[in-house]
Structure 1
């Protein structure tokens, strides 16, 4: 996406030896948030832990108000920025590479938890007891970060996983309906993964049903059960999310966005947005600009 800065974990170096680490731990201060003030993406995870003060974190189209006890996990490639930082800010920022946690936990062992997980973890809260335990875990991670060794780096990996698993369990308890196990949950998870991979090229229910070796009727039934929308609505909403993302955060023209997202002309993009949102891409762009500049 043109014009949108992408922050890399290797650039977040406070001391020379950091370049060999797959994680970082910083104090949450206005100074350390300077690069977060404009919309950007990351190639790594970011955890913001609030001990005092307030701020707003804008992630994709949603605005989350963070205060004491709240935790925000920002996933790689999620467009975000921070605003309205209070003067009495205190907390921690943890950055870590995707391979450190996501590749072997979220993508495998906890795949059935992974439906809408990123959205739920963008803003969550622990009980006071669990939050204190989380701060203790972060203190251990920070101590390792300050004096790392080969063994200690593996310990940090373990503690970051423990912290995140606690958050996931908390979300599971807050949203039990979302995580109710059913025999077709793995099919829904696979559909969401396929959709994220192919939505620019493939927009028919028949394509995804074929890939999943089920009928279109069955796929519709599964998506309605797990997210309250039909398969074609899920496909269209994924496209709309990317249209909004690019209108908000890229410097691409409407013509370039149209061709990037698989439309055969700018008028086709215009027709799609008009049909779904009752407004043109230009009107939508102006509306989003007002929302994010408010």
Structure 2
């Protein structure tokens, strides 16, 4: 049974039991929780039905101009900030195990992580379908709240979102290869910082993996690893949950001096300067 009494489940780590939660953005206008960066241990789906006030959404330190009838999927580990004033829509939070099972069923490129931060604009037909599914989700959430039924409704909703994405994106074998590579990097970048690991995991040479990676993204594997590491450092610093020394150690830097040099080389700021820079 889903526990609904915790209004701010999205600020917490995963609960032991699987869950799907749904919130209305317009009901959160008096909250300040979105004004600071937050990090999530589960999946979220944001659906904007009305945009007012500040129309900028910050996701992993990138700025996105949001529009009415847009949806974006937020993956575990991402960090975001949003001014909810003047906005209407829905926030769905989805337990990792449930999302994983849904993604296996749908086998969607949109759900695999490589295309995260892709905002999908709803067409009229898809919007009508999602509104009907959403009515069923709210009805069940506020009555029986049966997890199996909630999962079925969420799978239907994600099916239509994924279909809309795939109708507007033509993927080739190179795209699929890069998607697998990005997934590997996401899961291993802290412990595996050399190209060899990723080439061996995907059964290609270092030269081939860099050729495909650069063709698909304009960057080498090493550049992606460095960017991922810098992004992770920024997230940890901005969340202010750990000291700089703890962040360095957790991310595999044995020497604080090297940690500082690495960060400054890629950002032109020391970790301390970034922390103090509002």
Equivalences for 1:137-148 in 2 at 5 Å?
137-148=133-144
In structure 1, stretches of 5+ residues that fail to align are: 1-8, 290-294
Q: Quick one: distance in 2 between partners of 1:141 and 1:74?
A: 19
Which residue of 129, 141, 149 maps to 1:133? 129
Alpha-carbon distance, 1:44 to partner: 2.8
Q: 1:92 — aligned with what?
A: 90
Equivalences, count: 266
**Counterpart secondary structure, 2:248:** helix
**Residue by residue, what CA displacement relative to the aligned partner does 1:31-84 show, whole Å, maximum 9, x if unpaired?**
377243332223332223233343543222123343421223322232223225
Match of 2:235 among 241, 245, 256: 245
1:1-294 equivalence runs, <5 A: 10=3, 13=6, 22-31=19-28, 34=31, 35-54=33-52, 56-83=56-83, 85-86=85-86, 89-105=87-103, 109-110=107-108, 114=112, 116-120=114-118, 123-148=119-144, 150=146, 153-174=147-168, 176=169, 179-182=170-173, 184-287=174-277, 289=278
Task: Quote the Cα distance in structure 2 between the aligned partners of 1:143 and 1:155.
Answer: 11
Shift of 1:147: 2.2
1:273 CA displacement: 2.0
TM-score (norm 1): 0.77
Superposed CA RMSD? 3.0
In 2, the alpha carbon distance for the partners of 1:29 and 1:260 equals 38
Distance across 2 between alignment mates of 1:36 and 1:101? 23
Q: Secondary structure in 1 aligned to 2:26?
A: coil
Secondary structure of the residue aligned to 2:72 is strand
**SS of residue paired to 1:118:** coil
Note the alpha carbon deviations across 1:258-277, whole angstroms, 9 max, x for none. Answer: 21111121210122123223
Moved over 6 A (4+): none
Q: 1:140 to 1:211 in 2, by over 3 A?
A: same
* Separation (CA, whole Å) in 2 of partners of 1:63 and 1:173: 25
SS at match of 1:248: helix
1-structure distance, mates of 2:17, 2:251: 37
Structure 2 residue runs without a partner (length 5+): 8-15
